[in-house]
Structure formats: structure tokens, C-alpha cells
A and B are shown apart, each in its own frame.
Chain A
Amino acid sequence: MTLTATHLLALAPPILVCITAIVVMLAIAWRRHHTGIAIVTVVGLNLALLSLIGVWRMAPLAAPMLAIDGLAIFAAVLILVAALACATLAHAYLAQHSGPREEFYLLLLCATAGGLVLSASTHLATLFFGLELLSIPLYGMLAYVYGERRSLEAGVKYLVLSATATTFLLFGMALLYAETGHLDVAGLAARLGGELGAWGLAGAALMMMGLAFKLSVVPFHMWTPDVYQGGPGPAATFLATASKVAVFVVLLRLVITAPAFQDGWLHNVLAVLAILTMLVGNLLALTQSNLKRLLGYSSIAHFGYLLTALVIGDGLSVEASAVYLVTYLLATLGAFGVVTLLSSPYVTGTQGGEDTAALHHYRGLFWRRPYLTAVLTITLLSLAGIPFTAGFIGKFYIIALGVEAERWWLVAAVILGSAIGLFYYLRVMVTLFLAEAGMQRRDAPENWAIQAGGVVVLGAAALVVVLGIYPAPMIDWMHHIEVLVGG
């Protein structure tokens, strides 16, 4: 298949992001200007987002090694929105930073481009390329405030473990290639049929392992809390949102297109992993006293719920996972956004303090910053899946999916997981409202609400509530995606 002008147009979003990255790089070389670079980044990301409207008209379309279909566009929207939010939060976060600030945006743009490629990939080569382009800048982002020991630790830890996971992925791909002689997913699926040989099974399992690491599915979840806790706010936000969305979408695509991944044995393993992920994630979150760690464990649990959609893999599952991803993304952006805003005055430089993440810093926040606390409360309620927030719609979908497929074990695990989850979400929430203690105070800047970062968190919280009360537009859109993928 040759590359035509139409394909180029359809690939406009990643191309635009890459161009922005180059512009940012050149601009940094020419003159360092923090706000200027941030504006260029945001403009570039917005252009990419706008170009998606044009791409939407052309879909579905198969470019070489990439699919421009409903799912890819959906993932692109989420990744770009998350990247935009991270860029704006980063601007607030790095404002007080004395070290180099501009390179963060460069890394962010590269990782975004990687995410876009990854989520559209239909070929193992693009899958690998996208995954690495997404991960490698993340090492830098996580260790960005390298004067802070934990940040450095997070970066190095992620680097080592992620590289190990990648080797598993590569080995899996090699085995699959040896078995079938194909690298494109459609060809793989056709050759494998429903039957997996020993090598094919091993290959598929190893690939799953590599991807499961990125999603921090349970036996591969050890890195998550440390990295979330140590990484600077915006980097952790990106890791929790854009990176996970991209990896999940590609996994979803694999499972839908290649029935080999639906093979009985692998399928059961996936179901067990889903249940384990939900329960372990929630249980480990119970005793955390650091909000970022807690959110890390909670994200493990949320991907456990999402795996349910993969396990079931028919009927509503694309729609359900899409809705869930949207609600998860919004709530996570809001929660991490608040953490980032509260941390921003304390990131001073190479000897910068840790992020404001210890729960006692949040004690009585409501009586100082009522709206910021309202944002955090709403997003936590959404993560807990309480009505009037978008999270409830997501949970509704997951349970509906389980009930429809009559997977009672999964449904029971989701319910049990939610009940356990409530405990720690409530613990954080009530802390926000308790009487202030005389302990050290940490606070957001006075004018947080009118800064760009403040607008992001307020927007996320507003969307969480609006989509919680009136989810019809979101649901229609997701339904449309499913039609596009299925067709």
C-alpha cells in the first residue's frame, strides 16, 4: 500500500505534534522563555486536536501500519486533551523551578506523538515504535526534578522495569513472527485463527505481559506507587492518563481484531488477572497516607475494572471501555491537577521539596480553598463511582457489561472492589473537611483559579459533573466509535 495525500492528511495529528516538538526544540536552542514555549506547545496540541475534526470525516481509513478509525480518533482526543492538561499544569508547576524548565514540553510532545502512533497501530512495528516513543520521554519527565531524590528514583525505576517489560514484548513479537511469518495484526490474526500453537501462545502471553506492565496489571504493578509518588505532578499525570489510555487502546484493538487473544486459556488468565488487579489495587490503597501513592493504587484498580471489558470482549465492550476511559481520564486529571497545583509553590529548584502529597497536608483544605477542595471531592467521588459524577456512568457500563455476559465472578469482584475502594476515597475526602490542624500548612497560590492550571482542574471537575448528570452526548459518541470499529 502506498502512502497517498489522503493518508498524510489523515495522519495530520501525530505529524502536527511532531512539528511542534521540532519547533519547540529549535526555539529552546534560540532562546529560553518558559511561557513562550508553553504557549507554542499548547497551540500545537490544539491544532492537532482541531485537525481531528477533519480526520473524523475521513475515517475509517487504513494507512500503512496504522488504522485511522473511530477508536484511534477517540484515543487521539483523549491523549491530546490529557497532554494539553499536563502542559498547562506543567506551566504552573515549573514556574518556580530554578533549573531548566523548557525541555519538559519537548519531552511531553514526543511522548504525546508516541501515544498517538501507538493507539492507531495495526502492525507490531508501529506498536513497538509507538510504545517506545511514549515511554522513553517519560523516563526524562519522571526524573525531571532530579534534585529531588524520589523523582530521580522514579525515573530510574521506571526506566529499568519498563525496559525489561519491553524485552518481553519484543520476545513475544519474535515468537509470534516465528510462528506465523506476519507482523501485521490482521495477518497474525488470519494465520493464527482460533488455534494457538505452543509458540504462538507463548508469544501472545509475553506480549500481554509487556503491555500489562505498562497498565500495571497486578503481578506487574510493583513500580506504580513509587513512580507515581516520586514523579513530578505533571509527569505523573501524563503517566496516569495519556500513557495508560494509549496502551489500553492498543490492547483493546489487539483483543478485538485477533481472536487468538480470545483463546480459552489466555482468556481465563486475563479474567483472573482482572479480578486480582481490582482486589489487590484496592486493598493496597487502603493504608496509604500519601495521596499520589493512593491514586497510583487506585489507578491499578481502575485498570482492573477496565480489563473486564477486555475479558468479555464483545457486545458493549468497546463502548463500555471507551466510556470508562473518558470518565477515568477526567477524574484523574482533576485529582492529579489539584495535587500539582498544591505542589507548585514548593518546587523551587534542584533542592526542591517533595510534592504536596502527604494526606496531612490536605487536612482542612476545604476551609481555606473551598473550590479547589470541591474539585478534589468531585473527582474522588467520580473515581469511587458515585452518582452525579461521570465515574458512576463508567461503573454502570462495566457492571452492565458483566451482567450482560453473565460473568458473575467479575461482577462480584467489581462490587467488592468498589466497596473496598470507597473506604480510602472517603478517608481522603473527610480529611479535606476536618478541622485544620496546627501542622505545617501547604497551600495553592492565592490566584490559582484564574491561572491556566486552575482552569484545567475546574474544567475537568465541571465535565465530571455535567457528564455525570447528562451523559447522553458522550454515550452517543462512544456508540458511534463502536460502529466505526465494528464496520
Chain B
Amino acid sequence: MTLFWLILIPFIGGLLCWQAERFGDLLPRWIALATMLIELAITLGLWFHGDYHLANAGMASDSVRWSMEWRVAWIPRFGIEVHLALDGLSLVLIALTGFLGVLAVLCSWHEIVRRVGFFHLNLLWILGGVVGVFLAIDLFLFFFFWEMMLVPMYFLIALWGHSGSEGRTRIRAATKFFIYTQASGLVMLVSILGLVFAHHANTGEYSFAYATLMQTPLSESTAMWLMLGFFVAFAVKLPVVPVHGWLPDAHAQAPTAGSVDLAGILLKTAAYGMLRFALPLFPEASQAFAPVAMTLGVIGIFYGALLACGQQDIKRLIAYTSIAHMGFVLIGIYAGTPLALQGVVLMMVAHAFSAAGLFILSGQLYERLHTRDMREMGGLWGRLGSLPGFSLCFVAASLGMPGTANFLGEFLILFGSFPVAPWVVVIASVGLVLAAIYSLLLMQRVYFGPPQGEGMLADLDHREYVMLLTLLVLVLLFGLYPQPLLDTTAAAMGEVQRLFGAVPQSTTLLTGMP
């Protein structure tokens, strides 16, 4: 039942925010903040009291093991259940959702001044949908949440977004985002149904249950097609390069809270989907597809990095760096070694922190300068108090400086993928150099060079300072001591690796014990 409440709390909180609007602007903000804090507290409570690293480490059991599970019948006609389950991977990602939810509420404290209640309704419903995605292991339910979370995100961008340069209005960006993800989602629905009917043909029973469908024997070509259906949906959301068109626009036009959620959590649902569904359900097909996926990952790294170098809009620049970072994630996922998979988790968490930090910073720059165009910035280092210092830290994290979690993530991914695909790793490593270039370009153009104006701009207030400091501490903490995170997800990642059937690696490095 706790799991169900995890989903329900944001939805209820959202409705409360909406209704609280009539009592002033402040109440919805506090309700939203309280909701997300409760969510975070519950998740952290589960983390400390649950046992995640011994659930099935090393055991080659037949069925999937969950730390917590909750199920009730929903649509018996098709064997659809409300089936929620938690393991280390979903726990980490839900904790991340809660944390970034708190940040999203905080960073829109002064930015959003119109229709505050309705804004928080949308914000919390996105988070509720995301938590649902991370918990659902009934494929129908998963799809349900997957599609559902688009609607509030659409409103968030369309109603509270910034209009960019001409031809790039926020509504256009929001519509593009919605259509890309929804249409690709329907392709996934077709795949889900294909899998269910294949199962039906074998056993005469309808079932959408993850564990049941995993046993379905499929012919090679069927498995390939079905896997591609899942892959398309996840690739659009991740995003993988040929289908990334929505991302820069959506990011640039979204309000800060929307960007934080998009980069921090929504992109992670795609990686989660691959780890949880695409790989375990179709291991052979995924294995056969891995070279293509890795190539796409490499293309993404270079494409994202090169385009990031050419951007004038600071948020578009960060958006393109996300594409590059997600390229690494894609390589790691399809390398499928325990080391690479653990790196993927670390990378997802680290990217969520660093991207959220950068988006919050650009939101704060926008509040002070009323522009996101880097040509109108420059020379801000001495004029902004401690903001440039924080920027430097997050930019360093983004380029993968040792000591930050991003470095460990990229390192583990590259290290873990090397035995499987050495050439991919060699090429991808070049991308790290590009990362340094675009990151330093960002610093140079915004904070150094000839100043565009005189006088000091407002320094960070306490709210902003605490937000950034917390993020920075977390980036450094997981950069210096990632073991708790790795321990939590080791079992879940081991499971993925076992199902994916890649070459087993030595696990001593991961668990810290022989």
C-alpha cells in the first residue's frame, strides 16, 4: 500500500494546490513543497529500512525478486492488474524524483506568478505520473502512466513557458513534445499488445504482467519487431539522435521547473524503460540490436556536443549537452556489463543533479538579466556574487571532472563497455574532449569577456543558495563516495545483466568485497 501512496500523494497534493489558490499565492507553494518533502521522506525511509542489496545478488533465480510489491486486479478481462513493485533501481529514481520535485517547487517560487495553483497541479501530476512509471510492472499500467504524464508537461510548457525566437513559440514546442512522445508511445502500445497476444497464443490467457511476459517464447523476427517498438518509444524520450527534435525546443521554452523535471527525471524514464523492459523482455533481440544502439549513442554524443558549441541560447546549449550525456547512457545500457550498467545508474543520477543545477542557474540568470541569449551576457563574473562560482562547479560536473559523480558515471560506462565494444569506447572518449569545449565555452561567454553592463546584480538569496549548495554537495558526495548508491542498485542491475546475458564481469569492484 505504501507504494500506491507514493503515486497518490502527488496527485492529491496537486488537487489541493489547485483549490488552495483561492487563499492566495503562497499556500499552493507550501502545499506543493510539503507534498514533495513527504514523498522524499517516505522514499528515504524505505531506503533506510529496506534491504536492497541482498535481495538476489548473485542468485540466478527464475523469477524476478522485488523488495516490495503490491497488486490488485484491475481489468480482469485482459488480466490487467495494478501491480506495483520496488527494487533498488526504482527506489533510487523515485528518491531522485522526490528531490528534484522539491527543487522544482523551490525554483519556481518567484518565477511563476500567474495561476500558481494550476501550475503546481501540473507540476505535481507530472511527478506523480513519473513515480507511477517507476513503480508499475504491469505493462498496461506502465503505458498508462507513461502517456499520462505528458498532459501536465504539455500544459506546463504551453502555459508558463517562455517564447523563444520567432517561429519557436512555447505552444509549438509543447505540441511538438507531446506529439513526438505520444505517437512513439502508441508504437510501444502496439508492441506491448503484440507481446500479450503472442503470450495469449501460447497459453490461452491474457496477461500484462512483467514476470509472465518475460517467459514468452518468441520467434527471432517477432522479438526483433516488438523490441524495436519499445526501443522507439524509449529512444524518443531519451532522446536518441534521429528522434531528438522535440528536446531543444521543449527545454528552451519550458519554465525552469519544467526544464529541471524534463532533464532530471523525464529523460530518465526512458533509460529506466530500457533497463526494466526493453532489455529483459527481449534479451536476444536487444543483444543483436546492441551495435546499432551503441552507434546511435556515439552519434548522439558527437551531435549533441557539436550543436551545443553553436548555440546562443543558454538553455538550448544545456539541452544539447543532455543529448550528449544520454548518448553515454545508451552505450552503457547496451554494453550490458555490470560495470557499465552501474555506471548508467550513476550517470543518470549525476546528470540529473548537474543538469538541474545548470537549468536552475540559467533560470536565475534569466530572472536577473531577462535574457537567455549568451551574446547579451559576458563579464558577469564580478557582478553576480556567488552565482558564477556555482556555475563553474556545475559546468565542471557536466564536463566530467574527476571528483564529481559525472566523472564516475562516464568512467564506469566507458570502462565497462570496453570489453564488449572497444571501438565504440575509443570513439566515445573523444566526446569527452568536446564536452570540455562546450562547457568552457559556456563559462567563457557568460561570465568572462567584456562586461555588457555596469553595477552589481542581485546576489543569490537564501532559497537559491540552499538549493544550489544541496545539489553541489550531492554531486560531490556521489562523486567521492558512490558506494551506497551502487550497493542499492547492484542487485537490480545484476538482474538486468543476467537476463541480458552479456559477459559476466568481476563484481568485486562494485560491491567492495571479494
Contacts and interface: CB of A to CB of B under 8 A. Distances in A.
B229 to A, nearest CB: 10
Interface residues of A, number: 31
A423 B194 contact: no
B171 interface: yes
Nearest to B144: A387
Interface size on B, as a range, is 20 to 34
B178 interface: yes
Given A387-B143, A415-B190, A475 B148 contact: no
Interface stretch (A125-133, A226-234, A398-406, A458-466): A398-406
A400 B147 contact: no
Interface in A398-418: 399-400, 403-404, 411, 414-416, 418
Main SS at interface, chain B: helix
Contact of A387 (B77, B148, B171): B148
Contacts of B155: 430, 433
Contact of B159 (A403, A419, A433): A433
Contacts of A427: 175
Interface in B155-207: 155, 158-159, 171, 174-175, 178-179, 182-183, 186-187, 189-190, 193-194, 197
Nearest to A479: B77
B77 A419 contact: no
Contact of A422 (B74, B75, B178): B178
Interface of A is mostly: helix
Nearest to B180: A419
Nearest to B140: A396
Nearest to A475: B77
A250 to B, nearest CB: 26
B282 interface: no
Contacts of A403: 190, 193-194, 197
B214 interface: no
Residue among A367, A381, A430 having the largest count of chain B Cβ atoms under 10 Å: A430
B272 interface: no
A430 B174 contact: yes
Contacts of A366: 118
Contacts of A446: none
B178 A399 contact: no
A387 B145 contact: yes
A404 B197 CA distance: 6
B237 to A, nearest CB: 15
Contact of A426 (B175, B194, B197): B175
Contacts of B186: 399, 414-415, 418-419
Contact of A419 (B154, B158, B174, B179): B179
B150 to A, nearest CB: 8
Given A396-B189, A433-B159, A434-B159, A423 B175 contact: yes
A430 B171 contact: yes
B151 interface: yes
Contact of B75 (A416, A426, A430, A471): A471
A444 B391 CA distance: 51
A435 to B, nearest CB: 8
A386 interface: yes
A377 to B, nearest CB: 9
B76 interface: yes
A472 interface: yes
Contacts of B182: 386, 418-419, 422
B75 A472 contact: yes
Interface string A176-189: 00000000000000
Nearest to A367: B115
A399 B196 CA distance: 12
A274 to B, nearest CB: 17
Given A386-B148, A419-B182, A430-B174, 14 more contacts: A367-B115, A386-B151, A392-B147, A399-B189, A399-B190, A400-B193, A414-B186, A415-B183, A418-B183, A422-B179, A426-B154, A430-B175, A433-B159, A479-B77
18 contacts: A366-B118, A381-B151, A386-B148, A392-B144, A392-B147, A396-B189, A399-B186, A399-B189, A403-B193, A403-B197, A411-B190, A418-B182, A426-B158, A426-B174, A427-B175, A430-B154, A433-B159, A471-B75
Interface of A: 366-367, 381, 386-388, 392, 396, 399-400, 403-404, 411, 414-416, 418-419, 422-423, 426-427, 430, 433-434, 470-472, 475-476, 479
List of 7 A-B pairs having minimum Cβ-Cβ separation, nearest first: A419-B183, A403-B193, A387-B144, A387-B148, A415-B186, A475-B77, A387-B147
